[in-house]
Chains A and B, each alone.
Chain A
Amino acid sequence: MITGGNIFTVATLRAQTALFVAVLFGVTLYASVCNLLLPQDSVFYVSTYTVTLMGKYLCYALLALAVDVIWGYCGILSLGHGAFFALGGYVMGMYLMRQIGDRGVYGNSELPDFMVFLNWQELPWYWCGLDHFWLAALLVLLVPGLLAFGFGWLAFRSRVAGVYLSIMTQALTYALMLAFFRNEMGFGGNNGLTDFKDILGFDLQADTTRVALMLCSALALGTAYLASRLILASKFGRVILAIRDAEDRARFLGFRTQDYKVWLFVYSALLAALAGALYVPQVGIINPGEFSPLNSIEVVVWVAVGGRGTLYGAVVGALLVNYAKTRFTGVMPEAWLFALGSLFVLVTVCLPKGLAGLLSRLGSRRRRLAAVDA
């Protein structure tokens, strides 16, 4: 076993993808049906709380997928993917803010509440047009995409790589965090954007909207999974792996590796932005805390736990760690941090391929044993 996860036969990959999609939609559809159709006292009833939680986890999973695509497959460790996630979220948040209209506490149809009480006279230019959903949806992808392109173009062209790149991405998200904390920026400062009412005319508090948003997240995750699978299985994907393992060699074979990296980075940033945009209406708030470098590092850990270099590993890692977090922070907050810390150390030292690596190792051993038996 040289480097697991890459030399799968086409058949196993297909089976894996099919299983993933089946499980994903099976579970989410089941939860939706049980939430909407069953009475509350039914044994099978799934509470709205659970549905919202699932929606949130699915967004996290999509974010983890984004990180895995560049880290696991191209070896670019971004410690700043939270920035793209948050930017996507902010654009969506701005759209939702505009949807409030005159239902804010001051009844001002022109300005969001936080601008009214800080004496803003008019809407800053960058808020214009965001009351149109499609423009907002476009900007959700465009803003983080352009940032990723600009940053990637500069960084990869001048061959900033490895650790340096990681630290620069961290600086990027840190700088953005500081910037968004400033109230002068017009993004609500520390409080961020909150108190959303509805999306596309649907009440955000309604169970149906919540279920729909959760299903949208599942759809986004499923689509992103398939798209990533296709991209990585193409020759483009093999070039990406080649760049991860021996960039110089790839370059001397005539590949402009920087271009490959930029586009993969942009693709990954778009996934992260999409996750952010879906996340915000479900949790109901977006604030500069999402830019915190710590958050981005945590995402990397989800991927590491699940197993980088396998798409399903990233998703499983995100779901598992977040589920554990929800369970344990309530019960024993102190022990949780100890557990999380140890998880980091143990996974990197003992399980460099994460749970997915463990599974495939077990799997291959079983196959070997089976072969011996036969």
Chain B
Amino acid sequence: MKPNNWAIKPKKLATKLNKLASKMAVALSSCLLSVVVCAADTIKVGVLHSLSGTMAISETTLKDTVLMMVEAQNKKGGLLGKKLEAVVVDPASNWPLFAEKTRELLTKHQVDVIFGCWTSVSRKSVLPVVEELNGLLFYPVQYEGEESSKNVFYTGAAPNQQAIPAVDYLKQELEVERWVLAGTDYVYPRTTNKILEAYLKASGVSEKDIMINYTPFGHSDWQSIVAEIKKFGGAGKKTAVVSTINGDANVPFYKELGNQGIAAEDIPVVAFSVGEEELSGIDTKPLVGHLAAWNYFQSVESAANADFIKQWKAYIKDDKRVTNDPMEATYIGFNLWAAAVEKAGTTAVDTVAKAMIGMTAPNLTGTTAVMNRNHHLSKPVLIGEIQDDGQFEVVWETEWVVPGDAWSDYLPGSRDIVADWVAPIKCGNFNTKTAKCSGQNY
């Protein structure tokens, strides 16, 4: 046994395995072959989504989306006269592994851009590495905000692009007076609910009309909590549930709601983590009428969306597959990046990042997405009602696009902080009171 083997030898083996894998995994085939074939002079696109482990359910789709976009771009002739080459790694839903794989992408494969991450914790794990090695990360999922990094572009929704419009809708259109904020116990629901609580109190809702509840990941026994919600909702005022319940816990939650006789007309549930893909694994009959707030729904009728759905179904070779909001965020992010590279004429991170600001790209709902100075997008907000075919019927939408706010105005800690990556501020967390850019040492 010579332990130093691990550091040097198995180059050949890896190449062989690469070839083998490309034969095996149908979805990966074209791209991985290109990894092997195209040795030099390509623009490398890193894909950092979990393909195994608990997050594989959600993230595999995004990996496929990026690969589809890369393929489409190559058909259009690539970028700057070069072909794009996707480098796919699997961080296996393991957070430290996300950091390790990022380092691998940036140092070993020297990718020009990374599309990746889903959970907040994975992004937090990757962040120091991306900043250290000056990479470029596009993050396509709605999140809790409270962050703006020089090296990250956030194409998902910030809380003010999802949670606050949803609450406004419930207040104004459904005249909700009593609120249940139910979430899985992690940072996104915690922050979102903190923001919503402050927002509701600021608009005159009293403490006793707000109920906050947290449950663990994958919670499956919802009997007591649903009974409590039912009791809370039986007090004579219109009640709604704002749900930041994550992933797997949703199915048993909705089932229990249905069985305990809580229909959408009585106590509507508006969810921020339930999209078309999640619904495709659920018997949606008991869910009909419940709501979700996103920046995109598959059911939106626009030419761009129709094309996108067609392209997706053709790429994935499955007519039943659906599209969802994080896919749109990936789509926008990719197009913005491609446009910025064209504009900058290089893939150098600093130049591209500069070109990104103010860059626009059409989104799939018929309007235009703009990358703001705080590295967040301006997007429209849509509220949809779940239908029995697993799709959403849009019942409300904002009149204009809403700019994403990195630092919430409703949290005491971040009220005075703004992100602005254009000179003279050039800072992700600029404190307007002290006029200082705290923490980050750029």
Instruction: Show the binding face of A for B, using Cβ within 8 Å.
Output: 23-24, 26-27, 30-31, 46-50, 52-54, 56-57, 100, 102-108, 114, 116-119, 178, 181-183, 189-192, 194-196, 205, 283-285, 287, 289, 316, 319, 323, 326-337
- Measured in the bound complex, the distance between the Cα atoms of B190 and A319 in whole Å is 38
- Measured in the bound complex, the distance between the Cα atoms of B2 and A330 in whole Å is 24
Q: Report B-chain residues with C-beta under 8 Å of the C-beta of A53.
A: 100
A107-B7 CB under 8 A given contacts A53-B100, A114-B187, A329-B92? no
Q: Report A-chain residues with C-beta under 8 Å of the C-beta of B439.
A: 100, 102-107
6 interchain residue pairs of minimum CB distance: A107-B438, A190-B186, A283-B96, A333-B90, A116-B413, A332-B21
Q: Which of B40-56 contact A (CB under 8 A)?
A: 51-52, 56
Let me know if A191 and B4 touch, CB within 8 A.
Answer: no
Q: Report the stretch among B69-77, B123-131, B220-228, B395-403 that lies at the interface.
A: B123-131
- Nearest neighbor of A330 in chain B, beta-carbon distance: B89
- Nearest neighbor of B431 in chain A, beta-carbon distance: A107
A46-B7 CB under 8 A given contacts A190-B185, A333-B90? yes
Let me know if A330 and B429 touch, CB within 8 A.
Answer: no
Q: Report B-chain residues with C-beta under 8 Å of the C-beta of A107.
A: 429, 431, 434, 436, 438-439
- Measured in the bound complex, the distance between the Cα atoms of B1 and A226 in whole Å is 20
Let me know if A195 and B128 touch, CB within 8 A.
Answer: yes
Q: Report A-chain residues with C-beta under 8 Å of the C-beta of B132.
A: 205
Let me know if B186 and A119 touch, CB within 8 A.
Answer: no
Q: Report B-chain residues with C-beta under 8 Å of the C-beta of A284.
A: 96, 99, 125, 128-129
Let me know if A30 and B4 touch, CB within 8 A.
Answer: yes
- Measured in the bound complex, the distance between the Cα atoms of B431 and A102 in whole Å is 13
- Measured in the bound complex, the distance between the Cα atoms of B54 and A190 in whole Å is 14
Which interface class (under 10, 10 to 19, 20 to 34, 35 or more) fits B? 35 or more
Let me know if A205 and B128 touch, CB within 8 A.
Answer: yes
Is B25 part of the contact surface with A, judged by Cβ < 8 Å? yes
Q: Report B-chain residues with C-beta under 8 Å of the C-beta of A319.
A: 3, 6
**Which one of A23, A27, A49, A196 lies within 8 Å of B104 (CB-CB)?**
A49
Let me know if A195 and B438 touch, CB within 8 A.
Answer: no
A287-B100 CB under 8 A given contacts A31-B7, A329-B52? no
Q: Report the stretch among B10-18, B267-275, B286-294, B307-315 that lies at the interface.
A: B10-18
Q: Report A-chain residues with C-beta under 8 Å of the C-beta of B429.
A: 105-107
**Which one of B52, B108, B217 lies within 8 Å of A334 (CB-CB)?**
B52
Is B284 part of the contact surface with A, judged by Cβ < 8 Å? no
Let me know if A118 and B92 touch, CB within 8 A.
Answer: no
Is B29 part of the contact surface with A, judged by Cβ < 8 Å? no
**Which one of A108, A195, A316 lies within 8 Å of B124 (CB-CB)?**
A195
Is B325 part of the contact surface with A, judged by Cβ < 8 Å? no
- Cross-chain pairs A/B with CB under 8 angstroms, 15 sampled: A27-B4, A102-B439, A105-B146, A118-B191, A119-B413, A183-B190, A191-B186, A195-B127, A205-B128, A284-B129, A285-B95, A285-B124, A316-B3, A327-B14, A330-B90
Let me know if B413 and A108 touch, CB within 8 A.
Answer: yes
Q: Report B-chain residues with C-beta under 8 Å of the C-beta of A192.
A: 95, 121
Residue interface mask B408-442, A partner, CB < 8 A = 1: 00011110010000000000110100101011110
Is B94 part of the contact surface with A, judged by Cβ < 8 Å? yes
Instruction: Show the binding face of B for A, using Cβ within 8 Å.
Output: 1-4, 6-7, 10, 13-14, 17-18, 20-21, 24-25, 51-52, 56, 88-90, 92, 94-97, 99-101, 103-104, 107-108, 119-121, 124-125, 127-129, 132, 146-147, 185-187, 190-191, 194, 214, 216-217, 411-414, 417, 428-429, 431, 434, 436, 438-441
A47-B107 CB under 8 A given contacts A106-B438, A118-B190, A335-B24? yes
- Nearest neighbor of A48 in chain B, beta-carbon distance: B107
Q: Report A-chain residues with C-beta under 8 Å of the C-beta of B146.
A: 105, 117
A105-B100 CB under 8 A given contacts A329-B90, A333-B51? no
Q: Report B-chain residues with C-beta under 8 Å of the C-beta of A195.
A: 124, 127-128
Task: Give A22 Cβ to nearest chain B Cβ, in Å.
Answer: 11
Task: Give A103 Cβ to nearest chain B Cβ, in Å.
Answer: 5
Q: Report B-chain residues with C-beta under 8 Å of the C-beta of A191.
A: 120-121, 124, 186-187
Q: Report B-chain residues with C-beta under 8 Å of the C-beta of A326.
A: 100
Let me know if B3 and A23 touch, CB within 8 A.
Answer: yes
- Measured in the bound complex, the distance between the Cα atoms of B103 and A116 in whole Å is 29
Task: Give B152 Cβ to nearest chain A Cβ, in Å.
Answer: 13
Let me know if A285 and B14 touch, CB within 8 A.
Answer: no
- Measured in the bound complex, the distance between the Cα atoms of B441 and A100 in whole Å is 12
Let me know if A333 and B92 touch, CB within 8 A.
Answer: yes
A289-B412 CB under 8 A given contacts A27-B4, A50-B7? no
Let me know if B24 and A289 touch, CB within 8 A.
Answer: no
Q: Report A-chain residues with C-beta under 8 Å of the C-beta of B186.
A: 181, 183, 189-191
Q: Report B-chain residues with C-beta under 8 Å of the C-beta of A108.
A: 413
- Nearest neighbor of B7 in chain A, beta-carbon distance: A50
Task: Give A175 Cβ to nearest chain B Cβ, in Å.
Answer: 12
Q: Report A-chain residues with C-beta under 8 Å of the C-beta of B440.
A: 103, 105
Q: Report B-chain residues with C-beta under 8 Å of the C-beta of A316.
A: 1, 3
Let me know if B413 and A117 touch, CB within 8 A.
Answer: yes
Task: Give B375 Cβ to nearest chain A Cβ, in Å.
Answer: 14
- Nearest neighbor of B129 in chain A, beta-carbon distance: A284
A190, A205, A283 — which one has the most chain B CB atoms within 10 A of its CB?
Answer: A190
Let me know if B14 and A331 touch, CB within 8 A.
Answer: yes
Task: Give B22 Cβ to nearest chain A Cβ, in Å.
Answer: 9
**Which one of A104, A194, A285 lies within 8 Å of B438 (CB-CB)?**
A104
- Measured in the bound complex, the distance between the Cα atoms of B25 and A335 in whole Å is 10
- Measured in the bound complex, the distance between the Cα atoms of B132 and A181 in whole Å is 28
Let me know if A190 and B121 touch, CB within 8 A.
Answer: yes
- Measured in the bound complex, the distance between the Cα atoms of B104 and A49 in whole Å is 7
Let me know if A52 and B187 touch, CB within 8 A.
Answer: no
Task: Give B38 Cβ to nearest chain A Cβ, in Å.
Answer: 17
Q: Report B-chain residues with C-beta under 8 Å of the C-beta of A47.
A: 107-108
- Measured in the bound complex, the distance between the Cα atoms of B266 and A297 in whole Å is 46
Let me know if A49 and B128 touch, CB within 8 A.
Answer: no
Q: Report B-chain residues with C-beta under 8 Å of the C-beta of A30.
A: 4
Let me know if A189 and B190 touch, CB within 8 A.
Answer: yes
Let me know if A49 and B52 touch, CB within 8 A.
Answer: no
Task: Give B32 Cβ to nearest chain A Cβ, in Å.
Answer: 9
Let me know if A289 and B94 touch, CB within 8 A.
Answer: yes
Let me know if B187 and A334 touch, CB within 8 A.
Answer: no
Q: Report B-chain residues with C-beta under 8 Å of the C-beta of A331.
A: 14, 17-18, 20-21
Q: Report B-chain residues with C-beta under 8 Å of the C-beta of A52.
A: 100, 103
Let me know if B3 and A27 touch, CB within 8 A.
Answer: yes
Q: Report B-chain residues with C-beta under 8 Å of the C-beta of A114.
A: 187
Q: Report B-chain residues with C-beta under 8 Å of the C-beta of A330.
A: 88-90, 101, 104
- Nearest neighbor of B21 in chain A, beta-carbon distance: A332
Known: A104-B439, A194-B128. 14 other contacts (CB 8 A): A30-B4, A48-B107, A56-B100, A105-B146, A107-B431, A119-B411, A119-B413, A181-B185, A190-B186, A283-B99, A287-B121, A319-B6, A328-B17, A335-B24
- Measured in the bound complex, the distance between the Cα atoms of B132 and A189 in whole Å is 25
- Nearest neighbor of A101 in chain B, beta-carbon distance: B439
Let me know if B125 and A106 touch, CB within 8 A.
Answer: no
- Nearest neighbor of B20 in chain A, beta-carbon distance: A332
Let me know if B128 and A327 touch, CB within 8 A.
Answer: no
B7, B97, B185 — which one has the most chain A CB atoms within 10 A of its CB?
Answer: B7
- Measured in the bound complex, the distance between the Cα atoms of B214 and A335 in whole Å is 37
Q: Report B-chain residues with C-beta under 8 Å of the C-beta of A49.
A: 103-104, 107-108
